[in-house]
Structure 1
Amino acid sequence: MTASSSTPQVGSRDHTVKWFDETVTVPPQARELLENYRHIPAAEVQDHVVTLRNKAWEVWPYPCLGQFRFLELNLANRADIYPQLLSRLRGGDQRFLDVGCCLGQDIRKLVYDGVPSENLAGIELEAGFVELGYELFRDRDTLKSRFAVGTILDEDWVVLKEWEGQYDVVQLGMILHLFTWEEQARVFEHAIRLLKREGDVAIIGQATGNLDGIASPSWRKNTFRHNAETFGKLISEVERSTGTRWEVTASLDDGLSVHDGKRTWDDPKTRRLLFEVRRKQE
């Protein structure tokens, strides 16, 4: 047996993979959310988080779940956009859609920070993650946000048609790096369909990137990991295919556990891609 066939790969539910942490120290911001949003007792938070993560791992074993990165509340930690986003959404007349919402942690943080939950929505491929989000935050009877299970890639998906033109901001969570270049272009084309036709609308997000901007073999196909330059080229293609114009801000940083040396299993040139794509005003 070759080393490649005997070594656990992404997609394995084996707890010995390098991207599975048995436990975690819950970050202060996440602990505050869990304790104060739905009043989970402080003494229960640690075990509650680990138990729910283990259930989510059985739904689908993404490395981000293995490393508890849903606790990092990455949207709230984006100082470049979060204060402005909160200001927009707290007013009650703008709507936010989280594509690839996972456990819905960013939606719950927005609600905790004063955004009306009925103006928030999520799309998630795995129904189990949506259900576990309710279990994690214990808010099934109070949260008014809507969730749809499916893929934004599907041209004929009924939700894509029903929700078309309804949102001011669409977030593409940690999903872009799961797709080929051509699929990524389709994701953006469909995200644009979900945005309102008028006004200051934007697509924001983050993804696994690479210093070189390269196609990266994954367990199923050659996906693409961007740097700022290749991401800009992708959006230029989307502009041509949609007849729209966008102002692009993109950068790489050492998120995704790169900074603390915990991502030893990945390409050393892996970085986190952060982006904001705003419609140009004529």
Structure 2
Amino acid sequence: MSRSTKLPWYTAGFEHKLKPSFQKLLQEWSGIPAESVVPHIYQVREEAWKVFPWPCIGEFWFIEQGLLRHPDYALTLEKLKSSGGDAKFLDLGTCLGQDLRTLAYDGAPISSLYGADALQKFEASGHALFKDSDRFDSSHFITGDIFSDSDDLARTRETWDIVHIAMFLHVFSLENQEAASRNILRLLKARPGSVVIGTQTGTMDPGELQLRPPMCDPGEHKTIFRQSKDTMKDLWESAAKAVGIEVKVWTEYDEAEAEERAKGRKEKGEDWEKKERFFTGDRERRIFFRVERI
């Protein structure tokens, strides 16, 4: 994919997205002076864009602390803190690792926290953003492809108490989402209570979406599948059955996020949302989910 800064998801600014919690994280975890936080984020965006021009990089979604919004955040944090480092947490598709740093800042042992991504160079981008290579060393970053059965990520199967995935599955076709879900479940420890939690871009009207340039190359046929909360539940239950494990699945829409976007459309005009994000509209939803082994 082109690294051109003329791609529609390479947005001009992010200051309106910068929440006090992330500002505080950079100041207190990373030691960045308050007046330097904004230029620092711009600089890191440029470095990360050179690694790969994902919309989440161009649109500054890496400053969003997605896990912090999840209803299970407090429970997850408590599990990690009370385990004394024994419980293992994997942030799959970690990119710059903002959710790992949020957990660490809030008191989770770093010895419990790991990130995995298909692009190894995002490790350096995360260190550039958080200034913590002395704390999150390379042993906490796994390079791997969720579709592989033989790489470093696959070799960690059945070792994780908690696997977190945020804004990950929606980039795939339905067939690939099914394959990825099966392999994600294989990462969990083979015991009751091990769990996958996450957040997913979705819609109240599920179905296949054909991508068009610049989301794919000219002449390329590429589709993704957009889940609803009900089809997401079906996806995980089917994956669990395929790999021979029993699970309890919970899915729900993030209605607070939908209300925030609706308020923005009302106050700033209908075009506001289209300038902010690729998926738009009053039928779009973020989906929270939990898949727990029983």
TM-score of the aligned structures, taking structure 1 as reference length: 0.88
Which residue is equivalent to 2:269?
Answer: none
Shift of 1:267: 5.0
Contact 1:203 1:277 in 2 (8 A): yes
Shift of 1:31: 0.5
Q: Aligned AA for 1:67?
A: E
**SS of residue in 2 equivalent to 1:203:** strand
Contact 2:237 2:249 in 1 (8 A): no
- Identify the range of structure 1 (58-67 vs 14-23) with the bigger mean alpha-carbon deviation: 14-23
Which residue is equivalent to 2:163?
Answer: 170
**SS of residue in 2 equivalent to 1:183:** helix
**SS of residue in 1 equivalent to 2:68:** coil
Which residue is equivalent to 1:153?
Answer: 147
Structure 1 distance, partners of 2:65, 2:279, is: 22
Structure 2 distance, partners of 1:158, 1:46, is: 35
Which residue is equivalent to 1:243?
Answer: 244
Contact 1:173 1:205 in 2 (8 A): yes
CA deviation profile, 1:15-59 (whole Å, cap 9, x unmatched)? 344422222222211010000012111111110001101221222
Mapping of residues 220-235 of structure 1, within 5 Å: 221-235=222-236
Shift of 1:239: 2.4
Contact 2:144 2:154 in 1 (8 A): no
Q: Which runs of 5+ in 1 are unaligned?
A: 1-10
2:79 aligned with 1:88: yes
**SS of residue in 2 equivalent to 1:198:** coil
**Cα RMSD after superposing both structures:** 2.0
Structure 1 distance, partners of 2:168, 2:53, is: 14
Which residue is equivalent to 1:101?
Answer: 94
CA deviation profile, 1:160-218 (whole Å, cap 9, x unmatched)? 12x12211110112110111222112222212221111131110111221211111123
Q: How many residues are treated as equivalent by the alignment?
A: 268
Task: Please point out which of 26, 46, 64 is paired with 1:34.
Answer: 26
Shift of 1:258: 4.1
Closer/same/farther in 2, CA of residues 258 and 151 from structure 1, 3 Å limit? farther
Closer/same/farther in 2, CA of residues 267 and 27 from structure 1, 3 Å limit? closer
Shift of 1:150: 2.2
Structure 2 distance, partners of 1:236, 1:89, is: 26
Task: Please point out which of 40, 55, 63 is paired with 1:63.
Answer: 55
Structure 1 distance, partners of 2:95, 2:165, is: 11
Report which of the two has the higher share of helix.
Answer: 2
Structure 2 distance, partners of 1:12, 1:122, is: 26
Structure 1 distance, partners of 2:75, 2:21, is: 19
Q: Which runs of 5+ in 2 are unaligned?
A: 266-271
Q: Aligned AA for 2:284?
A: T
Task: Please point out which of 163, 187, 199 is paired with 2:192.
Answer: 199
Contact 1:258 1:271 in 2 (8 A): no
Contact 2:186 2:243 in 1 (8 A): no
**SS of residue in 1 equivalent to 2:147:** coil
Q: Aligned AA for 1:211?
A: M
Shift of 1:132: 0.5
TM-score of the aligned structures, taking structure 2 as reference length: 0.85
CA deviation profile, 1:121-155 (whole Å, cap 9, x unmatched)? 11111122111001111111122561111211112
CA deviation profile, 1:246-266 (whole Å, cap 9, x unmatched)? 111112336498443444153
Shift of 1:119: 1.0
Which residue is equivalent to 2:291?
Answer: 277
- Identify the range of structure 1 (184-193 vs 257-266) with the bigger mean alpha-carbon deviation: 257-266
